Chain A
Amino acid sequence: MSSLILILSAILVIFMIVGAIVTIHARDLLVAIIASAIVDLVLAVLFYILQAPDVAITQASIMGGLTTAIFLVAIKKTERYEQ
């Protein structure tokens, strides 16, 4: 891995950590879902950098797309704000 890709991966990992912390601490569950979707999409980019395009496609489509949509349906049917 060249150093440029290493720096890019480090930035992406920092994005993921920030997104994970926001996901845990957000009171508004919509914010939490969007932050976790960001974590999943950045993870897909990281899989691509690590030369696993099959996993990247699966991660982006299942976690970034479908799971986020199902979570959104779930908060629409329950409550938006955490107690």
Chain B
Amino acid sequence: MIKKAFALLLVIIIGIFLSATFAKIPFGVPKTVVGKYYLDHGVNDLGGVNIVTSIVVLYRGFDTLGEVTVLFLAATGLGMVLAGLREKDEKKRKKTAPSLIMRTETKLLFPMIILFGAYIFIHGHLTPGGGFPGGVVIASAFLLMFLSHEKWEAKEKYTKITEALAGMTYVVIGLIGLYVAGSFLENFLPKGVPGNLFSAGIIPLIYTAIGFKVGSELTGLLQNLRETTE
């Protein structure tokens, strides 16, 4: 009882201080100078219409490389944990056949979902989205196939090769920027006309690499989860 009363008291104190702090911050008003700089100069500097993508890939490109590394480490760690639980004998796995409607429909939907994911990451500099959501959409297409076709699988060899190539592409683009333009992940391609598909320099290239990397990584993760025993 006393424990609960103390917990309640603590929550109330934290709530009072948090609300007092947030009440001082005006809602919807730009608070820093750097955000205004991005909004004013982002399109002219880099040529990408979607400012969010320009910030993520070019202004804060190094952070994004770190994020991709974190995702890679998380997927690898889960794969290592699950490796001990993997069922070697295929026949021992419990199989319940999905219905005909599900199998037919996912076969039709699978290429369209892949296409939508590719659209999201290729048009990252023009429309909302980018490499991370696009990759997840592609992985969810593979998830649908895993659910509906019990024999169908994504070979670990291919997901690993795709992932490694995409990650290397990202770093190589960064290194070319270091050689040509003078700093790591610097834009070295022409900016083009803002609003065109071929514009914004290296943003579409990097987001395509990230899309492939995230998609193959999460597909491999789902495949790992699927292969483990009960």
Contact = CB atoms under 8 A, between A and B. Distances in A.
Interface of A: 53-54, 56-58, 61-62, 65-66, 69-70, 73, 77
A57 B226 contact: no
A66 B143 contact: yes
Interface residues of B, number: 21
B136 A62 contact: yes
Nearest to A63: B136
Nearest to A66: B136
Contact of B52 (A54, A66, A73): A54
B225 to A, nearest CB: 5
10 contacts: A54-B52, A54-B133, A57-B129, A61-B140, A62-B136, A65-B136, A65-B137, A77-B228, A77-B229, A77-B230
Contacts of B139: 66
Given A61-B140, A77-B230, 14 more contacts: A54-B52, A54-B130, A57-B120, A57-B128, A57-B133, A61-B133, A65-B140, A66-B139, A66-B140, A66-B218, A69-B140, A69-B222, A70-B225, A77-B229
A44 to B, nearest CB: 11
Interface string B197-230: 0000000000000000000001000100110111
Interface string B51-62: 011000000000
Given A54-B128, A66-B218, A61 B143 contact: no
A69 B146 CA distance: 11
Q: Taking chain A's interface residues, is the majority helix, strand, or loop, or is none over half, making it mixed?
A: helix
Contacts, number: 42
A58 B117 CA distance: 12
Interface string B115-131: 00000100000001110
B132 interface: yes
Nearest to A62: B136
Contacts of A54: 50, 52-53, 128-130, 133
Interface of B: 50, 52-53, 120, 128-130, 132-133, 136-137, 139-140, 143, 218, 222, 225-226, 228-230
Nearest to A60: B133
Given A57-B120, A61-B137, A77-B228, A69 B132 contact: no
B140 A58 contact: no
Contacts of B52: 54
Contacts of A65: 136-137, 140, 143
Nearest to B229: A77
Contacts of A53: 128
A21 B53 CA distance: 35
Interface centre among A53, A54, A62, A69 (most CB of B within 10 A): A54
A77 B128 CA distance: 36
